[in-house]
Structure 1
Amino acid sequence: MTLHTNQLIAGHFIEPDTYWVKRPHGQNDWLVMFTLEGAGFVYHQGVERVCTKGDIILLAPGTPHHYGTVKHHTWQFVWTHFPNMLTETSLLPQEDQVFLTIENESLQERIYQAFSRILADSRERGEYWFELCCNAIREILLLMAQKTIHKMDPRIEEVLHLLSQMMREDIRIEELAQTVGLSPSRLSHLFKESTGLSIIDTLNRMRIQQAALMLSYTGRSASEVCYDVGFQNYNHFTNQFRKWQGMTPSMFMKEHRTTDATSSAAKS
């Protein structure tokens, strides 16, 4: 298969153990495959890797490869071939093969949703379909690059994701621990060991970072922002703001909104 500029193809396969593909000379495009269920294999440079749920593999153009379903299994996976022009992203690796295991279920779902958008847009061929597919491919490549750079226990990754999603809610460490299959004490220890902060400090820092952005750009009052980001007590919000920003919310607004107003006046 040879893909020309601005062409790509994607698919979602569920294959029996008789399925295999062999390309002794590789192809002219990139191939990325993400396993959803079952088991497959990829044979490359004398090494066979077994692909199970959460495994993602990226093969560079011109890379000889052989892949298929493991005997006595089915293999469910999503895939896309995409052109070399996407090297503009600077996200594509120097190696001819990258193999990663994505253990975090939230990250697995995010990658799957990106593939689903590629599948839908490449089939519908609506306006800007190729650009939309490229955006989804870039998201997958970014997530792979992030996984390569930051090696963290998937349970801690999951807790960080939950904190970001539930920032405005009343969060209980016991419930987080149950979700990721750890005791509260073990989760607290592992979390601080991995991030350098406690779960509560991490949550409060997330809230204050968001509050600072809102105070800078939305024109909302400090008391409104306090509740927007999940604090139920304004005094607690003020204390946490001072801890993470080095000043009170009112001082922050005076400094940043004055700076923004001055900057806008200068531009006009």
Structure 2
Amino acid sequence: MELDHPSNYDGLAYGMVIAGHFHERDTYSTVRPDGMSDWLITYTLGGEGYFEAEGCELRVRAGDVTLLKPGTPHRYGTPQGKSWHFVWAHFTGGFMDANLLPLDALTIRQIEQQAVRERIYHAFLRILSDSRERGPYWHELCLGALREVLMLLAKQQTSGFDPRIEETLYLLAQRMQETVRVEELAHSVGLSASRLSHLFKENTGESIVEALNRMRIKQAALLLAHTNRNATEAAHDVGFQNYNHFTRQFRKYIGVTPSEYSQSLRSKEQRPN
């Protein structure tokens, strides 16, 4: 058993970030009867671990993000007969947006979407690399990656969507330029095509095709407004193969045709201040 106290970290400068990547057997245990002076965040990659705080023991498994608040007496480790594979980071909250930090002493969030799991994992990889390299702006880079993880947790709490629909929306945005097939999306999120279509409509109020077209048109409008792309180029950039279809969808979501939209933008630019 490792008996660890917050004083072990007191020598670190205010705002320091330290991180690690552990794969521990069931002999691993950390006890802090007085809590810590900083936050602890862990992300379980595999196996099983436990956290005990305020008289309650909770298990963590792959996809679980855990946050321990400063000053919380606790213990954590690997359950008997198990192994625990996880990444972790200690950080002080003074440099972090207060609204992103939980109020509870111990917070455990299960991340079900594969895309979000991958983003969190890669954020931790950046934290590990930057905190060890200590190159220029290493601290700011670590905080940026930590903030990304916390914002992903906050997004999950506030969206209200089924995790599989969140995953589908991410895949639509990621594959915007491609020909998107509902069957492939359904396979990616572990549903049948009919079940995904029903659940998507129930959660978002629109069909998968409508959501994709809305994303594409909003992106096309941004390209027309802020780049030198013309309407034909913008249509191709966002995945429309048929320009007439693009025009119809543009009018549906923006209220005017692409040419009318571009003309209104040029008029605004030429208008004297």
Q: TM-score band (shorter)?
A: over 0.9
Using structure 1 for the length normalisation, give the TM-score.
0.94
1:31 counterpart residue number: 40
Other structure's SS at 2:100 match: coil
The whole-number CA distance in structure 2 between the counterparts of 1:86 and 1:30 is: 12
Whether 1:113 aligns to 2:125 is no
1:4–1:83 Cα contact (<8 Å) kept? no
CA distance in 1, matches of 2:53, 2:18: 22
Matched, 1:154 2:163: yes
Give RMSD over aligned pairs.
1.4
8 Å CA contact 2:96, 2:143 repeated in 1: no
Q: Does 1:206 align with 2:215?
A: yes
Contact 2:36–2:70 (Cα < 8 Å) also in 1: yes
Structure 1 stretch 160-169 or stretch 173-182: which is displaced more?
173-182
1:12 is aligned to 2:21: yes
- Using the alignment, how far apart are the partners of 2:27 and 2:76 within structure 1? 11
- Judged with a 3 Å threshold, the aligned counterparts in structure 2 of structure 1 residues 49 and 223 are, in CA distance, closer, same or farther, namely same
Structure 2 equivalent of residue 76 of structure 1: 85
Q: TM-score, normalised by structure 2?
A: 0.93
Look up the equivalent residue of 1:175 and give its one-letter code: E
Name the residue aligned to 2:258: 249
Q: Which residue number in structure 2 is paired with residue 179 of structure 1?
A: 188
Which runs of 5 or more residues in structure 1 are unaligned?
none
Measure the CA separation in 2 of the matches of 1:216 and 1:147.
31
Distance 2:205 2:265 in 1: 29
Partner of 2:3: none
TM-superposition CA deviations, 1:73-128 (whole Å, max 9, x none) = 10000000001312445322233222100011110010000000000000011011
Q: Which amino acid aligns with 1:119?
A: L
Q: Which runs of 4+ in 1 moved over 3 A?
A: 87-90
Separation in structure 2 between the aligned mates of residue 117 and residue 77 of structure 1, nearest angstrom = 15
In the comparison of the two structures, how many residue pairs are matched? 264
Gaps in structure 2 of 5+ consecutive residues: 1-8
SS class of match (1:5): coil
Residue in 1 aligned with 2:4? Answer: none
Identity of aligned residues (%): 53
Q: Is the 8 A contact 1:42 1:49 kept in 2?
A: yes
In the alignment, the residues of structure 2 paired with residue 69 and residue 184 of structure 1 have an alpha-carbon distance, to the nearest angstrom, of 40
2:218 maps to a residue whose letter is Q
Residues 98 and 258 of structure 1: CA distance in aligned 2, closer, same or farther (over 3 Å):
farther
Letter matched to residue 188 of structure 1:
S
